[in-house]
């Protein structure tokens, strides 16, 4: 008999902030598809103290261009998760 999957501490923290394992896998698949097509991708990490402000700026701009409320809320959820992330720092 196999043991049930036990979530890691970082997975529990992420879910508490609204980011689920399933959503993470979905985003990674999207990034992989972009990279396979040669599309440039810029990744902001939660540990980057500047990241939440950059995502908020994207949200404001996206809203003026008619981006769907669902997409805007998804981005806002990421902002909240980033702000809760421990050990944030200025990027290297």
pLDDT per residue as tens digits for the range 8-20:
776 666 666 666 7
* Residue 4 in domain: no
- Asked if residue 89 is part of any domain, the answer here is no
The count of structural domains within the chain is 1
Which residues, at least 6 apart from 31, have a Cβ–Cβ distance to it below 8 Å? 41, 43
Is 49 within a domain?
yes
* In a domain? residue 16: yes
- Please check whether residue 25 lies inside any domain of the structure: yes
Domain membership of residue 80 as a residue range: 9-84
pLDDT > 70 in the chain, percent: 88
Q: What band does 41 get if pLDDT is binned at 50, 70 and 90?
A: very high
d(CA 56, CA 79): 7
Predicted pLDDT of residue 37: 97
User: Taking the model in full, what pTM does it have?
Assistant: 0.74
Greatest Cα pair distance, the chain, in angstroms, is 54
């Amino acid at each position: 008999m196999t043991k049930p999957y036990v979530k890691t501490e970082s997975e529990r923290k992420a879910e508490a902030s609204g980011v689920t394992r399933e959503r993470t896998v979905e985003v990674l698949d999207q990034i992989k598809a972009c990279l396979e097509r040669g599309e440039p991708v810029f990744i902001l990490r939660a540990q980057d103290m500047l990241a939440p402000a950059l995502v908020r700026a994207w949200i404001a701009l996206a809203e003026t261009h008619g981006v769907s409320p669902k997409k805007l809320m998804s981005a806002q959820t990421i902002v909240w998760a980033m702000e809760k992330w421990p050990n944030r720092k200025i990027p290297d």
